């Protein structure tokens, strides 16, 4: 079962996003492959954050999260947000960002993005990720665009093991 499931996930080849958060003067963001639209009317979007991640700790105190699609040439941002942890470095230093709607950090080099009001859902038994349901309140889009996908990012060692 395990190998076939891994293959299923690889074939789905999820687009990579960076989820950002700020609480007071604390801020962070991490690379996320677990995300999907979750409701049509009203619109809803779910992101899944590892219980090990500092972004998850801050998300549980935040009102809003930012969600940014990475372009296929933005492997450097994937490496920064997926390979480093905010427990050790401030990832926002060295990237172009500004506070956005609800205070969520906006990555200025990632114009395909939205901000959602965040509600952390109950953690399923034994799950190592929590689901954060987002109600989109502000969004931006630019074309043409080709996303960075899972197969582009599998070389990155996560800053926190799941
Ligand atoms: C390809 C890839 C996909 C990832 N997907 C997720 C994900 O869906 N959810 C998550 O919380 N972390 C995911 N991570 C791990 C975090 O991005 C990583 O552990 C990060 O360093 C955590 O940073 P933080 O402690 O500052 O939040 C992924 C990492 C990689 C390399």
pLDDT-derived band of residue 162, with 50, 70 and 90 as boundaries?
Answer: confident
pLDDT of residue 1: 77
Q: Is 100 in the pocket of ligand 1 (CB under 6 A)?
A: no
Contact 153 CB / ligand 1 (< 6 Å) = yes
Q: State phi, psi for 57 to the nearest 5 degrees.
A: -60, -45
| Ligand 1 geometric centre to CA of 18 (Å) | 9
Taking residue 60's Cβ as centre, other Cβ atoms within 10 Å add up to 15
Q: Give the helix, strand, coil percentages of the chain, each rounded to 5.
A: 20, 40, 40
Give 48 Cα–ligand 1 centroid separation in angstroms: 10
Nearest alpha-carbon partner for 25 in 83, 99, 131 = 99
Q: Who contacts 160 (Cβ-Cβ below 8 Å, separation ≥6)?
A: 50, 52, 53, 54, 85, 87
pTM over 0.85: yes
pLDDT tens-digit readout, 59-93: 999 999 999 999 999 999 999 999 999 999 999 99
31 lines ligand 1 (CB under 6 A): yes
């Amino acid at each position: 079962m395990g190998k076939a499931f891994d293959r299923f996930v690889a074939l789905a080849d999820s687009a990579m996003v960076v989820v950002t958060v700020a609480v007071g003067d604390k801020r962070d963001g991490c690379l996320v492959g677990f995300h999907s639209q979750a409701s049509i009317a009203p619109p809803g979007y779910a992101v899944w954050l590892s219980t090990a991640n500092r972004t998850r700790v801050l998300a549980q105190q935040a009102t809003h999260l930012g969600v940014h699609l990475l372009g296929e040439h933005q492997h450097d941002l994937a490496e920064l947000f997926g390979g480093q942890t905010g427990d050790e470095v401030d990832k926002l230093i060295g990237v172009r960002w500004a506070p956005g709607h609800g205070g969520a950090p906006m990555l200025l080099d990632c114009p395909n993005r939205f901000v959602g009001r965040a509600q952390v859902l109950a953690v399923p038994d034994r799950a190592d990720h929590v689901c954060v349901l987002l109600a989109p309140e502000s969004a931006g889009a630019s074309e043409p665009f080709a996303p960075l996908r899972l197969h582009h990012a599998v070389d990155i060692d996560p800053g926190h093991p799941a």
